Amino acid sequence: MRNCEKCFCDIEPINNKSIMDIIVDVCDFYEIYYTEIISKKRNRHLVEIRAKIFDLLYSDKSNNYTLTRIGGYFGKRDHTTIIHSIANVKKLCSAYPEYRDEYKKLHLKIYGSLKFFRY
């Protein structure tokens, strides 16, 4: 067992939600259809929501979702797309307090806690 994995082995899941549960909850939060979020559309609004979903899933250490697994739910997107999206969320959270506050509200809705909120 590597050192980085050991630190997460004792964390109890908060809401033990599946990837689909989280995607559907985010779609409900933003009032969009699931088919839009997994589509290849590149509207700014959809791209930002997808990036938030990627970050939510990757930061959820109770489930340890891999970048490849996350990308598979979104039209087999490459792991580097997921990495880039997560970096954008971090950048936008640090640059725009209103973006960070909205993302914090989404995080609370999904998990009911800020345990995995990193920004």
Give the domain CATH number at 53: 1.10.1750.10
Contact between residue 102 and residue 117 where contact means Cβ atoms under 8 Å apart: no
Residue 11: inside a domain:
no
**Structural domain boundaries enclosing 39:** 17-111
What pTM did the predictor assign?
A: 0.82
To the nearest whole number, what is the mean pLDDT of the chain? 85
Number of residues written out for the chain: 119
Q: What's residue 91's pLDDT?
A: 96
Residue 12: inside a domain:
no
Q: How many domains does the chain have?
A: 1
Model confidence over 53-99: pLDDT tens digits? 999 999 888 888 899 999 988 888 899 999 999 999 999 999 999 99
- Measuring CA to CA, which residue among 59, 79, 55 is closest to residue 69? 79
pLDDT-derived band of residue 101, with 50, 70 and 90 as boundaries?
very high
Q: What's residue 4's pLDDT?
A: 39
Environment class of 45 (CB within 10 Å of its CB; exposed 0-12, middle 13-18, buried 19+) = exposed
Residue 4: inside a domain:
no
